Structure 1
């Protein structure tokens, strides 16, 4: 069988192996592409290689620096409050009796509460009794002064008469001596008697003057003591009268701080009264803006029952206390007060701080507060570069740029925290 069938060994020829060219072609194509990219975007590539990090543009907020008006204002929600809302206190310790309820309308001078203070009432009665005693002492001193004054006057008149008698006697003795009807001794005795009468008269006059001044001082001291006691009684009467708590204004009873028939101490809060005739709008302002608010600044109040209602306002006061990073400011109505307003009603408030035209500025963003607004990231050719800046006036929407930026610059206003403080960051599309 092997001799009948021949194999194909004589027909087979060994072929030379074919060279593999596709790796060379692939490498050459890649080299061509890389060369083209390097030649076409060489600057972009160098910037990418020099960047410290890369952040997607979708995670950033970018604004353009422009020249335009800058309006600095403070806007927020306010609530209607009473310009006058006095709180009434107990002027003495005792039992407080309330004569009104919360929400009752009241008139000025109306008795709202009464405090029964037995201690103060008893003290007033005692001091009034002291007034009566001092008044009696004064009357007694005046009577005694009149009596002593009369006695001194009588002594003085007697001394004056004795002096006049001594003068007459001396004159008679002198005439008799000159006529030879009496001796010289009688004239000398008459002269001695006149000298004694003169001395007694001078003493009576001096004593009357001194004693009269002393009596006047005693009476004046009694008068002063009585006046002092009367002032004390008047003050106690005022305190007792103030135990009846009266409304200082026309308005409405606000809040009751104690229950009826409660024992209270002196200066304890009893109730508050709301004067609804003078209303203001109170708003909370961030501490950063509050330092620029001043009484008298113009404002605008809007809201009310009908849409679109607006009223001119004016800042009336700014609280000196900061609470939770905010300050309370109040605005009064510049014109007539709207009649439809109610206590605690919500209104929109806007206060104009400043307005300037042609200001180089950019939209406000997180870069204003981060680092104190000393630097910002400017986007140029797809790379955000950190530059030093100086900011000026700030509003809720825009900030003034004093240096470091120019019109047309694109600034990262939000999302810069993703840069981690890097100086150059690639912005990936």
Structure 2
């Protein structure tokens, strides 16, 4: 039985030069059997895979608190720089926390901690100060957790952690002073000073954290790129993770919230927003890429630096050059149940057959990727249909002294139309190139 190509995704890139084949109509040749000769040529293996265009980075800017969208400084399609102010949220709750923190800070500058009721009063003040600090840290962490800009979120969380460590130190000192007072080994002034220091640190930190929460209401672009108002997609569309190259789910913004049918996804100025409501998305299209799902039978042939071409459904007739950057180590399961590996490629500027420039793709566009994985130049070649699998070995029917003889061959680079023969044949050897499944050993052949 004729041997099928090793993989359906392997294609012949370069033409193979073969001597003219013996006519199938030769009277001495069995019907359906064609005899030709091994030739020399260039064969390239092409691994074909489906994929999608990816952006270098993208981030959704969302509201860090409940309130209203006070200002929107950009429109859809605008280009922005990282750090540029894009919107402002008005949050009365955040402003009230800052006002309260300001009053508490002013109060601590008035002098020593007022205590009454002896040592029990000192203990009550210490517990109240600790409770205020815990509330401030908890509120600050909740506020930071709702910020969609990963860099800003991490910075605020780090600020909370550092503040808590500082407070824990002065709180421990205050607790030790009160304990010493209760045991009669320390004076009242020492306990007052320790508690006053703890209150001042707590008030200052509460103010700093509340001020940081208010500052976060001025929304800035987390990356440079193009603005898209609203969330990333409706609930039925692909997730942002699928559209971003090297996406880290922890780095993405708040989940996309799909609009109601017929309603614009953009949040209008003056509209109420909740913490995490997506205001806009910034997509960095400065360096587009492609992710391709390569079958497990092919992925070991794909190497970083390898080249290929990309075709898009959205740009019929255009070809885009691509270069392999990396192949994932962990697999994905395809919809058909097979195992594949994600290969990441950089994408160049495309052209049409006439040399004119192709349009710039958009993230998420469907792509067909063809990767050149191996090539043999000036190689001994035969048509792929000449190769027959027998007892687990690759063979061809050679014509020796007018008789069909099975010859074992070692194959190298394999294309869809032709394959390289590494051993077993030389250029010019006559072989059955079609109808090999109709030949038997010793059969007369011209």
With structure 2 as the length reference, what TM-score do the two structures score? 0.45
Higher radius of gyration, 1 or 2 = 1
